[in-house]
Structure 1
């Protein structure tokens, strides 16, 4: 008997726009060979992708590539939120890359093409409904980043970071694929919902060593993408060796993709009784190790990298509810994790934009002492960077970060995990030490004269990206329930 799949081209519109952006950038760079036109094509495509995701996501949930009730592509509120955020992050990174591309050390066409390809993976990832689509989307998001990290000509640090990222990520992908294959062998299904239903209908499968190993490998492989402890060691070295705009993308869009992939398999496919305690332990280790090591950092990007590891712990914390709470509390936990990830990536992008604006064109993040007194020389840029850091710490006026942490703690209290909520609160206090230290350093009196400072003059595109990222962080801070509603969809 032949099997007929339904195809809904409207549901696929955001993916078409993202993939079309990559093709358009390639053609414009090949035919016109003008950097400005290539960047304009990438910007236009990213804007169209964000708009398409918003339009399609504003209607009812759409499904395509379906066989019966099982669909490989499901585009609803959460998928639209992820697609729009990834497209906006791509726009932000294009703006941050302005000084780097103008310096001539990085080929413009290749940079924009690879970034558009990665954006395509992020757009598809949010709507993935089966293990194959999910893993392919994760790799489409990640694969271009191997090249982007080391794309800057003559940079030994970039080459070392690219090799580190490539080796670790390939191992993580292999582990994930092996886990998916074993999960298919145990359940006979690939669609996430079908895998979950099979494990629920046949509890005896959970007693098989094959199923246990499959679940462990899938969780471990995706934990690499999130940079959760103990699978985090690649992140600080890779972020510090990559160009600043690429590090910003790794810390935001790439991390968001890893979180979405992990949430998809945990929510729909893997048994909650097994994954809940494991993810709770991972969350505690990740936030604690990330915060403790961040306290010792003296380089700016390494501090942001370790703080990003700690933030991954906060994102994973609500998933500890899975094994203990009812269905409504579990749904709230998933929404809290996605919402926190959205709040975090906007503030993280603003933080990286501030660092790029205050550093010379094409330079690395430098040391924290290089930012001393920066807000005195550039009040608006320094103030926006301080706002992003305060938001990441979860303090007002950074309402996005404040509501993010409140959302996580509330989901834990609803799920009767008060002890884990206390650990989150204690780690949030620990994080204040380094976030506020850097914010205070921005306003400290410089130890050298202004003429001797190494900070560069903010570039218009970078300043605009910083302003847009900060504005978006403020807006979502005033509309946390809207983000939660979309995240729950």
Structure 2
């Protein structure tokens, strides 16, 4: 087929791509603007970045309003129409459905809060920081819409490479954390690419729809191709296991979060993690569905190990960011539970948990960032939980907000949005005949209550759950002096997250029903 024929067959849906195009174009615009703006006017780049994100969110609203029963496909194989065929018959690279819209909206909204809580006194140009942030976000937006493994791999690297530099902006141990992050990411990507080569050898394609058909034939025939494909599928999941901090690929998480600026740690814990889960969900529910039962057993073991290791080690943490880091490891275990069920219909439970988790986790990081003043990742007391002793007396609104977010993470009233998320996941395990995993999850939820409530007790200077020993002789947290605009932006991030958490605690349906079925 000649070039003109190819162009005549393959159409590009620019409306479907609009959020990605706006974000990528905005990243370049911010970088160029940084070259021409005077130093005293470079704070305008913050508002420029926010304008780009708001424009992308408006594009998302347009796509939400136009969504229908038909999935919007683009970048399809020439000769295959991009309109109505079932997903299992359509080899395309990019698709926009409820799943894509939900996670793209989540990534954009979360990045807005990250920009608001970002430090204003970095020792690096604003242009570099916001360019890297928007570049990484572009990779996340593409990843959740990808429908072939080549696009997934490119999107993963686009997400990760700027994140390495963002971690390096930390004032303490930032370079060391970035190096650890880089090396472990490269190793996991290499393993994933090797797995994809095996999958390609067994199926002859990297499109999800065609990989599904190839694996179905291999599973039916058995023999060497089936074994080759099975090993390839397992190795492919290793790369996603690194992104979501699943045990045993989690070792980088506490070190990187502690070394990075608090806003960057928040970004990694929500946007990067959500994108990693999106890739895992797409691979398991679409491409590797013929091996769903075998992979389900593996994912169930990973879920149990991840939530247990995360919660048990979090019990011993004395630093706020490290505690939140191990908490994100445990939360990843909860999200894995529905994926262990050999039914693609359970995907909605994982997505709902991701949405609700994003709000409460971003809120907790926003309070920590606001309390640290400079946002450099460390409180004057070194970021210790003891530094939050009696925070309610000095900063009552921040203390109440942080306590509410901690109750949400614990799943206790009045923060019942966390309870709704855990019930959805628990129900998926029970209905999927994974009662043992539901029991493990219940035990881990009880374990997590200890360290969440211990931190909440410290805020109000209440001697419970060892809080008295924890706070003995420790200095109280005092925010470093910052500009009024900086404090306003950080407090605005806290306020937005708090408002969303309150709304979702009373009305969780938008999150629970966002991906009501998997087309």
Q: Give the TM-score taking structure 2 as reference length.
A: 0.88
In 2: Cα distance, 1:321 partner to 1:420 partner: 10
| 1:78–1:476 distance in 2 versus 1, CA, 3 Å | farther
Residue 402 of structure 1: CA displacement?
1.1
Q: Give the structure 1 partner of residue 366 of structure 2.
A: 353
Q: Give the TM-score taking structure 1 as reference length.
A: 0.93
Which one of the candidate residues 234, 242, 264 is aligned to 1:224? Answer: 242
Moved more, 30-39 or 421-430: 30-39
Report whether the alignment pairs 1:477 with 2:510: no
Q: Give the structure 2 partner of residue 317 of structure 1.
A: 337
Q: SS at 1:230's partner residue?
A: coil
Q: SS at 1:11's partner residue?
A: helix
Q: How does 1:379-458 map to 2 (within 5 A)?
A: 379-444=396-461, 453-456=477-480
Q: Give the structure 1 partner of residue 251 of structure 2.
A: 233
Residue 221 of structure 1: CA displacement?
1.5
Report whether the alignment pairs 1:332 with 2:345: yes
Residue 423 of structure 1: CA displacement?
1.2
In 2: Cα distance, 1:435 partner to 1:285 partner: 20
In 1: Cα distance, 2:498 partner to 2:28 partner: 31
User: Residue 387 of structure 2 contacts residue 475 of structure 2 at CA under 8 Å; is this kept in 1?
Assistant: no
In 1: Cα distance, 2:223 partner to 2:326 partner: 37
Residue 123 of structure 1: CA displacement?
1.1
In 2: Cα distance, 1:449 partner to 1:283 partner: 39
For structure 2, list consecutive stretches of 5 or more residues without a partner in the other structure: 81-89, 463-467
Report whether the alignment pairs 1:48 with 2:72: no
How many residues of Structure 1 are paired with residues of Structure 2 in the alignment? 477
Which one of the candidate residues 488, 496, 519 is aligned to 1:468? Answer: 496
In 1: Cα distance, 2:303 partner to 2:215 partner: 25
Deviations 1:288-309 (A, max 9, x none): 0000000001111111000110
In 2: Cα distance, 1:230 partner to 1:453 partner: 34
Residue 41 of structure 1: CA displacement?
1.0
User: Residue 371 of structure 1 contacts residue 455 of structure 1 at CA under 8 Å; is this kept in 2?
Assistant: no
In 2: Cα distance, 1:375 partner to 1:77 partner: 41
Residue 106 of structure 1: CA displacement?
3.0
Which one of the candidate residues 24, 36, 56 is aligned to 2:29? Answer: 24
Which one of the candidate residues 54, 61, 72 is aligned to 1:62? Answer: 72
In 2: Cα distance, 1:21 partner to 1:404 partner: 34
Q: SS at 1:139's partner residue?
A: helix
Which one of the candidate residues 34, 38, 41 is aligned to 2:45? Answer: 38
Q: How does 1:103-114 map to 2 (within 5 A)?
A: 103-114=121-132
In 1: Cα distance, 2:394 partner to 2:455 partner: 16
Q: SS at 1:118's partner residue?
A: helix
User: Residue 57 of structure 1 contacts residue 76 of structure 1 at CA under 8 Å; is this kept in 2?
Assistant: no
Report whether the alignment pairs 1:255 with 2:273: yes
| 1:452–1:415 distance in 2 versus 1, CA, 3 Å | closer
Q: SS at 1:126's partner residue?
A: helix
In 1: Cα distance, 2:223 partner to 2:59 partner: 45
| 1:420–1:206 distance in 2 versus 1, CA, 3 Å | farther
Residue 456 of structure 1: CA displacement?
4.0
In 2: Cα distance, 1:412 partner to 1:117 partner: 36
In 1: Cα distance, 2:72 partner to 2:449 partner: 42
Report whether the alignment pairs 1:8 with 2:10: no
Q: Give the structure 2 partner of residue 269 of structure 1.
A: 287
Q: SS at 1:249's partner residue?
A: helix
| 1:113–1:421 distance in 2 versus 1, CA, 3 Å | same
Deviations 1:215-251 (A, max 9, x none): 1110111101110001100000000011111111111
Q: Give the structure 1 partner of residue 83 of structure 2.
A: none
User: Residue 186 of structure 1 contacts residue 205 of structure 1 at CA under 8 Å; is this kept in 2?
Assistant: no
| 1:32–1:274 distance in 2 versus 1, CA, 3 Å | same
Residue 455 of structure 1: CA displacement?
3.6
Deviations 1:100-137 (A, max 9, x none): 22x24232110000000011111111111100111111
Deviations 1:4-51 (A, max 9, x none): 323111111111111121122122212224322211111000111122
In 2: Cα distance, 1:451 partner to 1:166 partner: 35
| 1:449–1:464 distance in 2 versus 1, CA, 3 Å | farther
| Higher Cα Rg, which structure | 2
Q: How does 1:154-193 map to 2 (within 5 A)?
A: 155-193=171-209
Q: SS at 1:10's partner residue?
A: helix
| 1:21–1:132 distance in 2 versus 1, CA, 3 Å | same
Q: SS at 1:73's partner residue?
A: strand
Which one of the candidate residues 303, 307, 319 is aligned to 1:283? Answer: 303
User: Which stretches of structure 1, 4 residues or more, deviate above 6 A after TM superposition?
Assistant: 445-452
User: Residue 386 of structure 2 contacts residue 476 of structure 2 at CA under 8 Å; is this kept in 1?
Assistant: no
Report whether the alignment pairs 1:146 with 2:164: yes
Moved more, 56-65 or 260-269: 56-65
User: Residue 199 of structure 1 contacts residue 205 of structure 1 at CA under 8 Å; is this kept in 2?
Assistant: no
In 2: Cα distance, 1:380 partner to 1:454 partner: 14
Instruction: State the superposition RMSD in angstroms.
Output: 2.0
Q: Give the structure 2 partner of residue 327 of structure 1.
A: none
User: Residue 172 of structure 1 contacts residue 224 of structure 1 at CA under 8 Å; is this kept in 2?
Assistant: yes
Q: Give the structure 2 partner of residue 81 of structure 1.
A: 102
Q: Give the structure 2 partner of residue 326 of structure 1.
A: none
Residue 311 of structure 1: CA displacement?
0.3
Moved more, 464-473 or 56-65: 56-65
Q: SS at 1:121's partner residue?
A: helix
Deviations 1:312-359 (A, max 9, x none): 00000111211xxxxxxx233211011111111111100001111222
User: Residue 363 of structure 2 contacts residue 494 of structure 2 at CA under 8 Å; is this kept in 1?
Assistant: yes
